[in-house]
Every structure is written in C-alpha cells, then in structure tokens.
Amino acid sequence: MPEDAAWTAGFWPGLLWLASAVKSDAELGAQAARLARLLEPRASDDRTHDLGFVFMPSCVLGAVISGNRRFHEMAWTAAGTLLHRFDGPGGYFRAWGDARSREHQGLTTIDALMNVAFVLWMGLARRDADAVGAARSHADRAIQNQVREDGSTAQVAVYDTRSGDFVRQGTHQGLSADSCWSRGQAWAIYGFALLARLSGDQTYSDAAARVADYFYRHLPADGLVPWDFADTGASQSIPDSSAMAIAAAGMLCLADARSDPAYRVCAERLLQRLIDHALVEDADNPAILGRGTFSLKLGIGVDEALIFGDFYFMDALARLLDQPFADYIRPAP
Ligand code: GLY
Ligand code: GLY
C-alpha cells in the first residue's frame, strides 16, 4: 500500500464523521476534520482515478456534517483534477496509471463509476458543463460496454487508445473477464444509483436497478456473497462482506432515486445478513465487520476486516435510519 494509503485514505475520517454526528461528539468531529485536512495535497494529484473514493467520505460528508465549506472546496478541486484523466476519443475516465503515461492507457474499471458520480456531483454544483458531460459520457459507455445482458458487470473495459473504440471486457480483481467480481457489482449499484439521484436520469436508475437485481438474485441461500459470483471452484466460499455493505448503501440510494421501497427491503436483508454473519465479536478487534476480501488474487486482506466495508456499513445504516446527513452526495440546490 503506498504511503498515502491510495484509494482507502478517506474512510477513517469518514467513519469518524459518522460517529461524531450520531453521538454528537465534538471531539470525534475535530479528529475527523484534522485527518480530512491532511488529504489536501491529494486534491491536485492526477495520478489516480481514486479521488472520489478519497474525498467523498472525508470532505463531501465532512462538509455536510461540519458545515465547513472548505471541505466542499477541497472536494471540488479533487473532482476537477479527475477531468485530467478523461479520454476524449473514448469518452471515459481512465482508471490506472499517470494521466500522462502510456502505462494502463485505454483501461477503465467498474469501480470508476463511484469517482464518476463524484465528478457529476461537482459539475452540477458548480454548473461545470465539461464535468457533467464527461461524467455522463463515461456512465453511458459503462452501460454499453460493462453491463451485460443478465445485469452482471465486467470490472475492466479495454478501449483502443487511438480511436477510443471499445475492444473487450477484462478483469483485474475478479476471477475472469466474463465473471462478475462481487465488489465491482456493488460499486456499479452505488455508482449508478448516485448518478441517478444526482441527475434524475431514468437511464442511470434503470442501469442501477439491473445491476442491483443481479446482485440480489445471486445472494446465496444463507450467509455472505462470495468474492466473485462466478466462482465455482475451491475459493467459492471466500466471502466479501464489503461488497454487501456497499450494495446495501447503493440499494438504499436507489430506493430514493426510484421512489421504490423494494430496494429498501433488499438492503435491509443484506444488512441483516452482515449482522448475522460478519459482525466482529472480539472486543480486542476494533473493526465492525470481518469476512471481507480485499484481493484474493494478490493474497491481500482475504477474509479480513476492511475499512471500506465498515464505512459503507455505517453509511448504509445512516441511510436506513434517514439520518439528516445520510444523503450527503446531494443534487445541487
Ligand atoms: N484497486 C485498484 C483500483 O481500482 O484503483
Ligand atoms: N478500487 C476499489 C476496490 O478495489 O474495490
């Protein structure tokens, strides 16, 4: 993990913000604010697409809870930085590699939909037509090229670096190019639901519903989802609780975007499964959820506690309980 904690750096301040709001604890809020401010240099770092993951929990949520506009401004800067990563011919945000290098050129991921929703949030708030256009273009291409007929998703889309034409589906964290990595599916649910909530566009709401329905239909009879829905081999029983936490938060956002309480019921079921099968009961372990899988392929964080699983579990509970800050990635007033 790089020194700046890569895409996960915003989740601890995010958890502190949520705890400070629920408990009305000013000391926790001060700690969250101090950690969120440390992220400021990353707002102009265009070497990664992960800035939405970093700045939504730390600064977008932080601004809503604290009322401090400086956090909104940091988040706007970060979302503007992501525009450096927009590939004009292909109409998508590239995921990995320095924006000026050829390494990982032509690739994007399903995870990127969260970062794209962050760009749309900024574009609508600041009336930045380029940002809105880029976010919508990426989302449209993801629907065309990464959401399959059955509602499953491919983690990676490969585009021709000159023409921008779609070449093929692939994967980085999943089992195979034609499998469905469960956390990727969860990012698609939450990403499309946020895009729908922000834009009011039925296309994104329909895409979110298709990917959410696939996730729900593929829940095992009992217990947690596997790390990849297509895995029928020896690693089939390795779960990813974080995928369920992200999917639950996304389904609650989708229930609002579509005014459809059925997605609320689905989210409640996912949260109940997490409570029954993934809550950490060891008082010496500071995590909320265990049984997450960061990367089975790299052998990192397999069947472990993951900070983003904890963050999205709390995010989902805040949405379920209609907390005033729960809908923090709000449409522009
Ligand atoms: N897990 C690497 C990335 O999507 O940024
Ligand atoms: N890049 C986000 C993830 O690995 O889930």
Compute, in angstroms, the gap from residue 276 CA to the centroid of ligand 1.
Answer: 29
Predicted structure pTM score = 0.96
Closest ligand to Cα 108:
1
pLDDT in tens, 146-203: 999 999 999 999 999 999 999 999 999 999 999 999 999 999 999 999 999 999 999 9
In order of 181, 274, 302, 307, the CA distances from 278 in angstroms are: 19, 5, 14, 14
DSSP 180-222: -BHHHHHHHHHHHHHHHHHH--HHHHHHHHHHHHHHHHT--SS
pLDDT in tens, 228-249: 998 778 788 899 999 999 999 9
Compute, in angstroms, the gap from residue 96 CA to the centroid of ligand 1.
Answer: 7
Q: Do 81 and 43 form a contact (C-beta atoms < 8 A)?
A: yes
Output the pLDDT for position 1: 46
The distance from CA 196 to its chain's CA centroid, rounded to whole angstroms, is: 14
In order of 60, 87, 140, 199, 327, the CA distances from 133 in angstroms are: 21, 12, 10, 12, 23
Ligand 2 atom at shortest distance from the alpha carbon of 173: 4
Compute, in angstroms, the gap from residue 291 CA to the centroid of ligand 1.
Answer: 20
pLDDT in tens, 70-80: 999 999 999 99
Closest ligand to Cα 171:
1
Q: Report the C-alpha gap between 304 and 298 in whole angstroms.
A: 14
Cβ neighbour number for residue 45 with a 10 Å cutoff: 14
Closest ligand to Cα 85:
1
Q: Do 55 and 41 form a contact (C-beta atoms < 8 A)?
A: no
Average pLDDT, rounded, for the chain: 95
Q: Residue 109 has what DSSP assignment?
A: E
Q: Which amino acid is at 213?
A: D
- Residue whose Cα lies nearest atom 4 of ligand 2: it is 294
Is there an atom of ligand 1 within 6 Å of 109 CB?
A: yes
Compute, in angstroms, the gap from residue 110 CA to the centroid of ligand 1.
Answer: 10
Mutate to test the pocket of ligand 1, among 1, 7, 42, 53 (most ligand atoms within 8 A of CB): 7
Per-residue pLDDT tens listing for the chain (333 residues): 455 669 999 999 999 999 999 999 999 999 999 999 999 999 999 998 899 999 999 999 999 999 999 999 999 999 999 999 999 999 999 999 888 888 889 999 999 999 999 999 999 999 999 999 999 999 999 999 999 999 999 999 999 999 999 999 999 999 999 999 999 999 999 999 999 999 999 999 999 999 999 999 999 999 999 999 987 787 888 999 999 999 999 999 999 999 999 999 999 999 999 999 999 999 999 999 999 999 999 999 999 999 999 999 999 999 999 999 999 998 776
What strands, in cross-sheet order, belong to the sheet with 107-109?
Answer: 107-109, 156-159, 166-170
Compute, in angstroms, the gap from residue 23 CA to the centroid of ligand 1.
Answer: 33
